[in-house]
Structure 1
């Protein structure tokens, strides 16, 4: 992504110096830059990199999260002037960004942590950029970042979202939503493949058709493309030769961890993370199949319209959970995070870009601080499609077709509209074995059950 981002910056007319610790990589990048090479200065050392940039400098780091970032900052800082700005544009844990911002401020050095989404293609032609750190530091580089960002109807998908690690936290939640969105699509694919015995080419046509409707999004678009792809070595559909073991780099797990710390329910995202973990347990799944056998997966009662409507409902509920987590973090960390701004940044360039996000930005503008499932423009969509989600989850369960993220979305929906839940039983149990006390419906205060008297 660093190479792609550099070419994007050069293409927008900005001069840029580049450095990679492998000198041959730097020179290969420069030699293959074509006409853009005139805007690029290749550097063999950090010293030459710093010398090539006119003060006050801005240096973007694109290195793996964790210790490599700290090592690069430690190597750079002695070479820089006090007002030179370091920008971490990798997938950093926001706690690390908070620490780095605080350390930089203690030494009167500017530092930004920005989330960048869109993959290599987005980095090259226009990503979504989520800024965090001091607003003054953001403004220094905003003209460049806005120029290279994706464009949505004339508005750049790049903005400053808040202090310290805000940008990286928003990117983390973006990735958590991405996990759930991808998992739900995979579950729908599984129903079509195993329950309806559809071939990849037919599945591709379904995704392509859905991309012209309410589900229009980058992930639905590429799901059609990958379903249509053919393996050049075997001539088989590419999906049929790919190992069913999903990788992850940790951002989905970070989302789940932070949600637990903040007490924010994100069951669909947590289910997606768990599903990836289960996918990696190939040997255990083989044992399970050998012991219990493969079910028939008969799902003839499921039709494609039901699948589309169920996915619409699941998607809304997934985003509702993600935005609710952002609000919980904003309240907890006093970030004053603008949810409409987040939705607007995600409208183009990023992996989870979709036609729904423009409506989500409007919903949060019209009804600030509301859960998305209670926003008037999404209530009607949920009411139209909730029955389909319920029907799909029930029929998938009967056919032994796992749909963990969609099932979690449905349970979230049901619990969030259940005015009298079942936690009273849990509170009674807690008081029985640990005298933790409980509250009553009929009067205020803290109480114990009759077992406390014995």
Structure 2
């Protein structure tokens, strides 16, 4: 058989088929395979009979050497299962790329597996959804440097671009690519929560009309809040159901999640990085599942329900949102920098931010300014002079939290963003009181501000 294909795509779900079509549209010869005959038939109906393979061996037999296989399948056990299947056919120097949302520790394990077999393994974070995969995603590659060099031409060609620069880069060894994609998703969780809270506050606390709310979002889109998520928020706000009413009001207030947000939060806890807004975003989705309890609580629990007013709400809420989103980026980058140091990944935050500037879900105008900051563990984004605008935005974040408390609605994303901001302003925290209590009941000792060493006090004396 003639070996003519540049790359294979294994998995023809929404993302896999879109990525394969993207490669084909850029002139690459692509072999495609799926275990699901329905997916193969659907791809053939859309694309024609284009190197559609019915077995793994047939797929591999069509590839040029070294063979490159891009897995676009469900994360977790399915990836291990496919690797076991491929192992029978793979040769030293072949490249396997995992483009799913795999847990970075799984990717590290698979990378070690590949080294023993002289196979090049890459964990590639792919962001942009179906349209991004089709027209140009943002991609974060980690793992084998050799594998990256063998596939970078294809990856950087099909990626989104900013001018001539591709939004695709090698991030670091073993699990680095999937790690930064995980944190990207955590930041996304936080921003989505803040956008939802801004909408909810305008609708239920200020009782603004749909037209007024939409106009506010449009004004944000035309300013510093210009981003993909604000852009599609406008689309969501304007979409009407078949009966002429707004569709968003008919959607059940129970949110799904795939797990990357939870992984990000757990990483923050394990590495000692404060991620309050991302944590609250994950927790809010968890709590949204308690619909019946929330409905019961509405009838039983009492609290403030004052009517509140706000002068120039579009400007105030927009400023609060801008600072909140900036703080989400700050939290995520703080975690990435900490992990890079502990895992010995040579991640360049500026290069990573450049990858996020187009194609990905969290792309925004803010990243132009964030990209100017050299973020390190001792120099977080929040403290850089580039963001002296915080002084102007901070009163707005306080005001929306104050009004929310008075009107009796929960805005955990906005509140946590303010907590993050204020914690960075607190040279003195109340944990000295906690240390005293811990020493009192458990003899855990404490340190003093005036004398070095560990101390224990007999508090009962």
TM tier, shorter chain?
over 0.9
1:225-240 alignment, distance < 5 Å: 225-232=235-242, 234-240=243-249
Of the candidates 439, 443, 454, which is equivalent to residue 435 of structure 1?
A: 443
1:283 aligns with 2:292: yes
Of the candidates 281, 305, 308, which is equivalent to residue 299 of structure 1?
A: 308
How far residue 286 of structure 1 moved from its aligned partner, in angstroms, is 1.1
1:4 aligns with 2:12: no
Of the candidates 232, 247, 253, which is equivalent to residue 262 of structure 2?
A: 253
1:398 aligns with 2:411: no
Q: Distance in 2 between matches of 1:11 and 1:199?
A: 44
Q: Deviations over 1:295-343 (max 9, x none)?
A: 6462223622110111111111111111001011011111121111111
Is the contact made by 1:97 and 1:113 (CA closer than 8 Å) also made in structure 2?
yes
1:122 aligns with 2:132: yes
Q: Distance in 1 between matches of 2:411 and 2:163?
A: 36
Q: Distance in 2 between matches of 1:426 and 1:128?
A: 45
Is the contact made by 1:201 and 1:227 (CA closer than 8 Å) also made in structure 2?
no
1:48-447 alignment, distance < 5 Å: 48-232=58-242, 234-292=243-301, 296=305, 298-301=307-310, 303-364=313-374, 370-378=379-387, 380-447=388-455
Q: TM-score, normalised by structure 2?
A: 0.94
How far residue 28 of structure 1 moved from its aligned partner, in angstroms, is 2.2
| Cα 1:415–1:166 shift into 2, 3 Å | same
**Larger relative helix fraction:** 1
Q: Distance in 2 between matches of 1:249 and 1:196?
A: 33
| Cα 1:10–1:342 shift into 2, 3 Å | same
Q: Distance in 1 between matches of 2:128 and 2:76?
A: 21
Q: Distance in 2 between matches of 1:338 and 1:256?
A: 22
Q: Distance in 1 between matches of 2:291 and 2:213?
A: 25
Q: Distance in 1 between matches of 2:440 and 2:276?
A: 28
Once structures 1 and 2 are overlaid, which stretch shifts more, 280-289 or 87-96?
A: 280-289
Q: Deviations over 1:378-403 (max 9, x none)?
A: 1x111110011011111111111211
1:25 aligns with 2:70: no
How far residue 226 of structure 1 moved from its aligned partner, in angstroms, is 0.2
Q: Distance in 2 between matches of 1:173 and 1:388?
A: 27
How far residue 31 of structure 1 moved from its aligned partner, in angstroms, is 2.5
How far residue 260 of structure 1 moved from its aligned partner, in angstroms, is 0.6
| Cα 1:430–1:293 shift into 2, 3 Å | closer
Which residue pairs with 2:3 in the alignment?
Answer: none
Once structures 1 and 2 are overlaid, which stretch shifts more, 247-256 or 280-289?
A: 280-289
Is the contact made by 2:304 and 2:406 (CA closer than 8 Å) also made in structure 1?
no
Q: Deviations over 1:234-257 (max 9, x none)?
A: 321011111111110000000001
Q: Deviations over 1:395-422 (max 9, x none)?
A: 1111112110110010111111111111
| Cα 1:368–1:356 shift into 2, 3 Å | farther
Gaps of at least 5 residues in structure 2 are 1-14
How far residue 368 of structure 1 moved from its aligned partner, in angstroms, is 8.4
Q: Distance in 2 between matches of 1:75 and 1:129?
A: 26
| Cα 1:414–1:251 shift into 2, 3 Å | same
Is the contact made by 2:338 and 2:377 (CA closer than 8 Å) also made in structure 1?
no
Q: What's the RMSD between the two structures over aligned residues?
A: 1.6
Q: Distance in 2 between matches of 1:103 and 1:290?
A: 56
